[in-house]
Amino acid sequence: MNFLKNTGLKNKKTYIKAYNYLQNGKFEESLRLFNYLLDENYRSFSILFNLITIHNELNSLDTLLNKINLLLDNEDYNYYELLIQKGNIFYLKKEYDEAIKCFDEILIDDSDNLWAKFYKTKVLWETKEECDFAKLCDIVKNNHANYYLLLLLGEFFLEVNMLDCALFCFNESIKKHSKNPTSWRDKGIVLKELNLYPESLDAFSKSLKLNGLDPITWNYKGAVYNLIGKYDSALKCFDKCLSIDPNSVPAIVNKSISYFNLGNIDNSLKYCEFALKLDSTNCHVWDNYATFLFHANRLEESLNAYNHALISCPKNITLLKNKLILLFNMGNWEDVLIFSDEILNINNEWNWVEEYKKLASEKLNN
């Protein structure tokens, strides 16, 4: 018994060490330890999630797939758990038919298997097949899932904009494991989307108490402060984020928005330019940059920024709309007509675009 206890304690310590390596981006060291734990059949289902993350980063998922195929013949391992992870790998490799085969095999024998239902729904959604998200939500509410599955389900429901169901999943995940910072962070994101800003800030604060070095959470917390007009508090959050991840484009862009709202156009432009050096194809950044240039009355430069943005995102309706407003203010009537038609081909219910087109025609005919 003491031998088993000591082995379990050793494996637990190894797991923590491997996980910390993974969190710090030391993939080779982490891979070696997680492979050892998989061979020991220690928390294999959880170990495989971590191994999938590593092999996905190293572009070597086929290596792990071969390993799982060998383990499927080993009666010491849970066959269905291995099959779920095999399907998960096929999903990441975009081999969706193979993934569906894995999940269907499980559901034939265990029709209530929530892991298989969840991943099959993800595949169907990815392939634009018909999905009954409401039914999946009802199943989740009547199922005693573990905290990690609830977290993954919550993130999926957030992605498909089923915010109430996402919030339910994160709340249940937190009930089962209140010290998981990701659950608190994701809850904060949902609350932000629901415009529940004080509750969102509280969730982000709880997440940061558990992990104060997560740049994503600092950025989201700052973004909420921007939304409620507390720009100095927002800047402190973005500075904290950037002290951890100096190249966080979302934080740099949000920082530029804070400065813009504080009336500091020079700084807002400076941080936009920094963001564009890091990601020159980011349409959202170009849109902000063009907007700030417009407010600085640098209209030709603003137009140039929109043109750059539309190279990467030629059908982005927000960019087209904002460029149309700029062209109207510049009195470029022929271009106003062209862009009005382009927008109306995408959305013909915007009366103000028709009005711009009419006014431009009148100007050209005078």
CATH number of the domain that residue 335 is part of: 1.25.40.10
Are the beta carbons of 255 and 275 closer than 8 angstroms? no
User: How much is the pLDDT for 345?
Assistant: 86
User: How much is the pLDDT for 71?
Assistant: 97
Contacts of 170 (CB under 8 A, 6+ apart): 150, 151, 154, 183, 186, 187, 190
**How many whole angstroms separate alpha carbon 346 and alpha carbon 24?**
45
Domain that holds residue 296: 280-366
Q: Give domain status of residue 362, yes or no.
A: yes
Burial 300-336 (b: 16+ CB within 10 A, else e): eebbebbebbbeebeebeebbbbbbbbbbeeebbebb
Q: Give domain status of residue 311, yes or no.
A: yes
Q: Give domain status of residue 126, yes or no.
A: no
Q: What is the DSSP string of 221-273?
A: HHHHHHHTT-HHHHHHHHHHHHHH-TT-HHHHHHHHHHHHHTT-HHHHHHHHH
Are the beta carbons of 231 and 224 closer than 8 angstroms? no
Q: Give domain status of residue 44, yes or no.
A: no
Q: Give domain status of residue 86, yes or no.
A: no
| Cα 231 off chain centre by | 24
Are the beta carbons of 312 and 283 closer than 8 angstroms? yes
User: How much is the pLDDT for 2?
Assistant: 47
pLDDT tens, residue order, the chain (366 aa): 444 455 678 899 999 999 999 988 899 999 999 999 999 999 999 999 999 999 999 999 999 999 999 999 999 999 999 999 999 999 999 999 999 999 999 999 999 999 999 999 999 999 999 888 999 999 999 988 899 999 999 999 999 999 999 999 999 999 999 999 999 999 999 999 999 999 999 999 999 999 999 999 999 999 999 999 999 999 999 999 999 999 999 999 999 999 999 999 999 999 999 999 999 999 999 999 999 999 999 999 999 999 999 988 888 888 988 999 999 999 999 999 988 888 888 877 788 888 998 999 888 887
* Side-chain-facing half-sphere of 293: CA atoms under 13 Å: 20
Report helix angle 333-346 to 351-365, nearest 10: 150
Q: Give domain status of residue 326, yes or no.
A: yes
Q: Give domain status of residue 345, yes or no.
A: yes
Angle in degrees, CA 147, 11, 19, rounded to 5:
55
**How many whole angstroms separate alpha carbon 31 and alpha carbon 50?**
9
User: How much is the pLDDT for 1?
Assistant: 45
**How many whole angstroms separate alpha carbon 147 and alpha carbon 140?**
12
Per the structure, the count of domains in the chain is: 1
Are the beta carbons of 263 and 232 closer than 8 angstroms? no
Q: Give domain status of residue 221, yes or no.
A: no
* Matching residue, tokens 């170990």: 47
User: How much is the pLDDT for 332?
Assistant: 92
Structure tokens of 269? 């432009």
Whole-Å CA distances, 220 to 169, 238, 250, 257, 329: 20, 9, 9, 13, 34
